[in-house]
Structures are given as C-alpha cells and as structure tokens.
C-alpha cells in the first residue's frame, strides 16, 4: 500500500501515455479543451472513499493483483514499487503524507518528532513509542534508525542501496535521553528529511548480507512490525496473504485477510469483472470501458503525480537558438495535445505549470503561464526578428538552411503518432517543418543519455511530495538528468540555494521564482499530467486514487 518515498524521480518513456493511466483534458492557459468548467487544480484530486477507523467494519477480505518481487527490501536498488507496497503491509508505516503532501507522523511508531536548526545545521529528534517492538521481540529504538542510516548513506559501497540522497547529509544518529529516542544530526538543512525514515530496518536486516540477499523471494515477518503480518507467502504461485498481527500494540487491523493474487494486468481486469478481485487499475480507455458500469462496483479517479513534457535539445544545431525554441513553445497548443491523448477518459485538470510541483500541492504556482502563452502569431514574429525568412514552400530559411526540426517518436502507438502529427501541424504556420524520426522503445535510455534528438516527449513520476528538491535535476546545467542541456552556472547557483531553505513554504516560493527564470530558456515545456483511475467494489474504504497519501493498513476495509 505504500510507495517508498526516498527514491529520485525516474524518467519513463511516455510515447504511449495511456499505458500509465495518466490523462488530462486541459485547455488553453488553464481552461479545458472546450474552454469550460476546468478546475483551478486537478479535479477529483483524491477519490478513495476516505473513512475514519470507526466507520470500517471488523472482518472481511481485500483482494487485488500483486505479488512479491525478486528483491523485497524497498531500500535495495533492485526493488520496485511493488516491493514497497508489499513491504508496507507487514512493516512500519511510520511516516505517511496527505494526498497533497503534508507530513503525517504515525504515533504508534514516533510518539514525538522535533526538528530544530542550530548554527545552520538541522537536528531531528525522534521519540519512539515505548510499546513499539519488532515481531521477534526486539525493541524498536534508536538502533533501528541508526542501522537504516548506515545501510543507506553510501559509506559502505557493499550495501546495494537504492538512493543515498539525504542519508549522506546525516553526520550522526545517536541515542537520546534513552534508547527510545534517536537524535539525527545533518550537515546543513534538509526540508524533506521525513522521506528518509518513513519506514526502517530491523538492525539484523541491516547487515550487508541481509540487506542485499535476505529478502530475495523471501519475507521476514519476524523482522517486521505493524497491524498485519505474513500468513502465507507462496513462492510457487506468487500469491501472498496477510493476517492480523497478534503482537501489534496499536489499533487492530479491520480486515481478516489482505490477499495479493499473482495475475497479469489483462487477467486482472477479467478477474475484477468476474468478481474475484475487489480492485483493479484502469490503465487505458479500453480497460476503463470494460470495467465501467459493473454491478456493485464504481470507478474512482483522481490526481496523479505524473507529468509529461516536451524536451528541447539545446545542444542540437537547430535548437541552439533561443528564438527558435521560444517560437516552437508558443506554437504548441497543449490543450489540443491533451484532447488527442485522452479521448474516452472522463477527466479534467488545468494545464501543468511546473516541473516539480503539481496544481494540487501547497506552494504550487503556474510558472509556465507566467512565462509563456500559446501565441502562434508571436512565434512568427520571433523568427522574423531572428533572421528566419519564409521560403517559397512556407518553410523558413536562414543562411541557406531550412528550419527543420526533428521529433523522435518511439514505437508504433497510435496516440504517439497522432501527437506527432498534431505537433507538425501546429508548427507549420510558423514556418517550422517537423521531421518525425522513428525509433525503438529499447533505445529510449540511449536516445536521452546521448541526446540523439531535437524534440522528445517524455514523462516523470514524483515518488514523494517534495518536488522542490528535484529542481536541479531538471534545470542545472551540470546534471546528467537535465536532458535539455540548458542552464548556466549562475542559474545553477540560484537553484542550489533553494535546497538550503529549511522552511517548506519559503522553499516553495523560492523555487517558483527560480523556475520561472529556468523556463525562460524555452527548453522544457510541461504538456499534461492526468489521473489514477481504478475499478473498486462499492463499500471498500480508504482505497483508490490517493496521490501521495497511503492510508494506514489498519484503516483499510469495508465501510459499515
């Protein structure tokens, strides 16, 4: 149920966008495709039938598609989102987030949290619940926090850690007033420190051998903690069953059983239609059509921390000119792109305005609209001023060279082809000829790393609500993750200064100001985001589209 939140943003191929169920029906400068009724923030931002613990029945079973991965330790570099979700059903969910990203401390683990900055350095004091213990009887205390830090801080490269970011900023983890208190000292400040200790490792699991190998196709419920524990872990079928944990000190889990059944996604849709599953994901318009209107079920659809953008390679000869990039950006009708992508999906949201924050988040500002408007007439003027003159065939020419820009299209997805065709039509009135260049999905990483493109459509999924800390990944000139190649050392300095701001509100304000400067390089254009959409049996509580939120396992169940 929970995704580990300390992972970096991962670039994902986004030519076949509906495969991720991300969608938007955006309109010009924030309006819908029809120019009507578009909300100021992502509509139906959450849709998961939130119910207080008291409104959930005792008993019942909750069954979905899912299985264990080869690597079940979510801190390990080889773990996936699936491993994190399974982990969260029999290990600590000590810190979670609201749908829009506010930090929520679980008092069953951390009874008190204090954050202070002294002399420019941050100190976090975690007071751990006196009752908290791992299932093998080992008290959960400061040593678990220290063990988690040691395994992930990069000081011992034998640990195959997923990410050392943040952990490597910690200078020490020490015992506080007693063993139930951990004092974490940082060099400088880290406004998103909470992502580091949303869960933690049993000290026995934090040896190199166990960190890397103990959870490979195995569960270790004795090293876990929480309202549920492993009842059956079937390595043959891949099915997993969790049951109430008799050693749990908090509110008991409402469900008798929580079951993962190992099925492919298409088989999952059929199993949901047959009543075998309580919940399934609608990954595209076709699967949504199949599950919509089934008796005793409902569709839950809400916001999603995905965003798809057009990347401009500033290192290519044709896009090295800022005027050309700006003209392209002004020519692109983002609302039309969204309409193409999401035919058949009933959802509306505003156009995305930032690379790092979403419209449903506190601190979000529409930085794109502050810098750029859809203005095809202006695009022509930009090119005129830059010396690009209209040619006899309508394509502009400068110094004997035609204004031809490549667009790299991966695979044979119809929506990808339609999007490419639409972009070509949008750029034509400005005198820009879009050359659609086909590529293979398998070449995705190489195309980006080698910058073998002029224009490229790709997506990102934020793995935690602290998007401000990723500003450098998009815009710093010295970061490999900045695939546009844009940026300056002076801008890099301004971007990095935002990471030193401890107050999240002040950090967001600073990030918005700097991002507007970065967007004026016209090398990166957010296009659309979209929802998470699910089919759910009626009455299922605290399950569905939650954005950054992970409802605690003990609250999941069937509404009274």
Do 353 and 469 belong together in one domain? yes
Structure confidence at residue 37 (pLDDT) = 56
CATH code for the domain in which residue 450 is found: 3.10.105.10
Please state, in angstroms and rounded to a whole number, the distance separating the CA atoms of residues 111 and 249. Answer: 13
pTM > 0.95: yes or no:
no
**Same domain for 61 and 200:** no
Give the domain-ending residue among 175, 196, 219.
Answer: 219
Q: Per residue in 427-441, pLDDT tens?
A: 999 999 999 999 887
User: Rounded distance, CA 504 to CA 510, Å?
Assistant: 10
The residue-averaged pLDDT of 222-228 equals: 98
Residue where a domain terminates, one of 179, 199, 219: 219
Which helix (H) or strand (E) segment holds residue 510: the answer is helix 504-519
**Of the listed ranges 52-56, 96-100, 209-213, 242-246, the one predicted with least confidence:** 96-100
* 77 and 183 co-located in one domain: yes
Check residue 341 and give its pLDDT. Answer: 79
3-state secondary structure 11-62: EEECCCHHHHCCCCCCCHHHCCCCCCCCCCCCCCCCECCCCCHHHECCCCEE
* Per-residue pLDDT tens over the stretch 135-193: 999 999 999 999 999 999 999 999 999 878 789 899 999 999 999 999 999 999 998 89
The answer to whether residue 319 sits within a structural domain is no
The tokens for 281 are 């994901």
Does one domain contain both 356 and 489? yes
CATH number at residue 94: 3.90.76.10
The mean pLDDT value for 482-496 works out to: 94
pLDDT of residue 35: 42
Res 377: pLDDT: 93
Q: Is 15 among the domain residues?
A: no
Number of domains the chain contains: 3
* 549 falls within a domain: yes
Residue 446 CB-density burial (10 A; 0-12 exposed, 13-18 middle, 19+ buried) = exposed
Same domain assignment for residues 514 and 455:
yes
So what's the pLDDT on residue 362?
84
In a domain, 129, yes or no: yes
Enclosing H/E stretch for 185? strand 181-186
CATH number for the domain harbouring residue 244: 3.40.190.10
Same-domain status, 235 and 208: no
Range of the domain at 372: 305-314+327-382+408-529
pLDDT digits (tens, 9 = 90+) for 361-396: 889 999 999 999 999 999 999 999 999 999 999 999
Using an 8 Å Cβ cutoff, are 189 and 120 in contact? yes
- Whether residue 86 sits in one domain with residue 208: yes
7 falls in which pLDDT band (50, 70, 90)?
Answer: very low
What integer pLDDT is reported at residue 38 of this predicted model?
62
Mean pLDDT of 417-423: 94
With pLDDT > 70 as the criterion, what percentage of the chain qualifies?
92
Phi and psi (nearest 5°) for 324? -70, -45
Structure confidence by residue, pLDDT tens digits, 503-516: 888 999 999 999 99
Over 70: is that where the pLDDT of 22 sits?
no
Chain centroid to CA 537: 26
- Of the given ranges (3-17, 77-91, 241-255), which has the lowest mean pLDDT? 3-17
Using DSSP's 3-state secondary structure scheme, residue 406 falls into strand
Q: Is the pLDDT of residue 25 over 60?
A: no
pLDDT above 90: residue 93:
yes
Count of CB atoms within 10 A of residue 224's CB? 23
At a CB cut-off of 8 Å and minimum separation 6, what does 153 contact? 161, 164, 167, 168, 170
Task: Summarize the confidence of residues 476-481 as an average pLDDT.
Answer: 84
Tell how strand 103-105 and strand 540-541 pair up.
unpaired
Confidence at 41, pLDDT banded by 50, 70, 90: low
Question: What does pLDDT average to over the chain?
Answer: 88
Is 480 among the domain residues? Answer: yes
Report the alpha-carbon distance of residue 456 to residue 204 in Å, rounded: 46
pLDDT tens-digit profile of 251-302?
Answer: 999 999 999 999 877 789 999 999 999 999 887 788 889 999 999 999 998 8
Distance between CA atoms of residues 170 and 313, nearest Å: 36
Residue 493 maps to a domain: yes
Residue 7: inside a domain, yes or no? no
Q: Stretch 114-127: mean pLDDT, rounded?
A: 95
Do 336 and 430 fall into the same domain?
A: yes
Q: Is residue 509 part of a domain?
A: yes
The pLDDT tens digits of the residues spanning 139-155 come to: 999 999 999 999 999 99
Alpha-carbon distance values, 414 to 370, 409, 417 (Å): 33, 11, 5
Residues 273 and 165 both lie in one domain = no
Do 473 and 499 lie in a common domain?
yes
Instruction: Please check whether residues 208 and 246 belong to one and the same domain.
Output: no
DSSP one-letter string for 309-355: EEEE-TTSSTT-SHHHHHHHHHH--HHHHHHHHTTT-----PPP--S
Same domain, 453 and 479: yes
The pLDDT value recorded for residue 39 is 61
Q: Which of 173, 197, 219 is the last residue of a domain?
A: 219
Query: Which pair of structure tokens corresponds to residue 533?
Result: 């959409």
């Amino acid at each position: 149920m929970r995704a580990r939140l300390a992972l970096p943003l991962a670039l994902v191929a986004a030519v076949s966008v509906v495969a991720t169920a991300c969608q938007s029906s955006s309109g010009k400068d924030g309006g819908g495709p029809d120019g009507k009724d578009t909300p100021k923030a992502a509509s139906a931002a959450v849709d998961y039938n939130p119910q207080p613990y008291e409104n959930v029945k005792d008993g019942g079973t909750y069954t979905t598609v899912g299985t264990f991965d080869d690597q079940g330790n979510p801190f390990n570099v080889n773990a996936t989102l699936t491993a994190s979700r399974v982990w969260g059903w029999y290990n600590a969910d000590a810190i979670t987030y609201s749908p829009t990203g506010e930090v929520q401390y679980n008092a069953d683990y951390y009874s008190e949290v204090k954050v202070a900055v002294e002399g420019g350095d941050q100190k976090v004091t975690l007071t751990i619940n006196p009752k908290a213990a791992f299932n093998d009887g080992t008290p959960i205390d400061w040593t678990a926090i220290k063990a988690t830090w040691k395994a992930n801080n990069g000081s011992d490269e034998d640990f195959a850690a997923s990410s050392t970011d943040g952990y490597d900023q910690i200078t020490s983890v020490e015992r506080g007033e007693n063993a139930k208190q951990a004092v974490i000292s940082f060099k400088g400040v880290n406004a998103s420190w909470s992502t580091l200790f949303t869960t933690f490792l049993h000290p026995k699991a934090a040896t190199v051998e166990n960190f890397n190998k103990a959870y490979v196709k195995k569960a270790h419920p004795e090293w876990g903690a929480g309202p549920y524990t492993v009842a059956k872990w079937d390595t043959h079928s891949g099915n997993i069953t969790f049951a109430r944990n008799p050693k749990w000190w908090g509110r008991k889990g409402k469900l008798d059983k929580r079951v993962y059944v190992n099925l492919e996604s298409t088989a999952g849709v059929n199993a949901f239609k047959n009543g075998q599953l309580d919940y399934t994901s609608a990954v595209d318009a076709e699967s949504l059509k199949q599950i919509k209107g089934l008796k005793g079920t409902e569709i839950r659809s809400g916001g999603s921390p995905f965003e798809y953008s057009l990347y401009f390679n500033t290192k290519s000869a044709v896009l090295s000119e800022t005027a050309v990039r700006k003209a392209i950006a002004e020519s692109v009708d983002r609302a039309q792109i969204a309409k193409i992508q999401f035919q058949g999906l009933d959802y509306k949201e505003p156009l995305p305005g930032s690379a790092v924050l979403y419209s449903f988040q506190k601190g979000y500002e529409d930085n794109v609209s502050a810098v750029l408007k859809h203005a095809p007439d202006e695009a022509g003027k930009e090119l005129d001023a830059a010396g690009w003159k209209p040619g006899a065939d309508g394509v502009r020419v400068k110094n004997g060279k035609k204004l031809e820009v490549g667009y790299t299209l991966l695979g044979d997805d119809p929506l990808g082809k339609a999007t490419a065709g639409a972009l070509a039509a949008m750029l034509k009135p400005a005198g820009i000829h879009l050359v659609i260049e086909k590529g293979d999905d398998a070449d995705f990483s190489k195309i980006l790393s080698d910058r073998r493109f002029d224009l490229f459509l790709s997506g990102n999924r934020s793995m935690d609500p602290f998007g401000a800390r990723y500003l450098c990944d998009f815009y710093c000139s010295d970061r490999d993750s900045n695939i546009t190649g844009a940026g300056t050392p002076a801008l890099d300095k301004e971007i990095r200064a935002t990471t030193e701001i401890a107050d999240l509100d002040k950090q967001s304000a600073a990030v918005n100001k700097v991002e507007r400067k970065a967007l004026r390089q016209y090398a990166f254009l957010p296009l659309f985001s979209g929802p998470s959409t699910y089919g759910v049996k009626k009455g299922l509580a605290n399950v569905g589209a939650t954005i950054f939120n992970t409802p605690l396992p003990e609250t999941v169940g069937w509404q009274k």
